[in-house]
């Protein structure tokens, strides 16, 4: 019995390492510096716990990952897409609420980090 529980736990850990999709479930563009927008969004999201911020300056990209170093449930990518332009990609599995669920959840948080127009 203990071996079966241990094996089941191992399978669960290995299959849960990355559960978000390779393709974004939502993409939108905003005006502003990708790093500043990502930093602001991270500060707002980290209050909920389990968010990690990975800066990739040579790629002009910042990733906000929901999860730990070994298990990730989803990701928000901020990429420079031109002068003062940022592309935001939402990579979360599609929930029962529909494909746009996480985009609709995170877009207002991202947009609250934009400077005055």
Burial of 40 (0-12, 13-18, 19+ CB in 10 A): middle
Q: Would you place residue 117 in the very low, low, confident or very high pLDDT band (cuts 50, 70, 90)?
A: low
pLDDT for residue 3 is more than 50:
no
CATH 3.30.310 corresponds to the domain 19-111:
yes
Euclidean distance between CA atoms 4 and 2, whole angstroms: 5
Q: What is the pLDDT of residue 18?
A: 54
Q: Cα 49 to the chain's mean position, in Å? A: 13
Q: What is the pLDDT of residue 20?
A: 66
Domain extent listing, the chain: 19-111
pLDDT tens, 65-115? 998 878 888 999 999 999 899 999 999 887 788 888 999 999 999 999 997
Q: What is the pLDDT of residue 6?
A: 35
pLDDT tens, 24-60? 889 999 999 999 999 999 999 999 889 999 999 999 9
Which alpha helices (H) appear in the chain, and where do they start and end?
A: 2-15, 34-45, 101-111
């Amino acid at each position: 019995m203990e071996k079966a529980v241990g094996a089941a736990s191992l399978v669960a850990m290995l299959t849960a390492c990355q559960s978000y999709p390779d393709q974004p479930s939502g993409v939108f563009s905003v005006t502003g510096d990708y790093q500043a927008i990502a930093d602001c969004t991270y500060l707002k999201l980290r209050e909920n716990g389990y968010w990690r911020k990975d800066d990739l300056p040579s790629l002009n990209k910042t990733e906000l990952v929901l999860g730990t170093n070994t298990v990730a449930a989803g990701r928000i990518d901020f990429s420079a897409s031109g002068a003062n332009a940022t592309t935001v990609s939402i990579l979360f599995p599609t929930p029962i609420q529909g494909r746009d669920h996480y985009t609709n959840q995170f877009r207002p948080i991202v947009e609250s980090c934009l400077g005055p127009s």
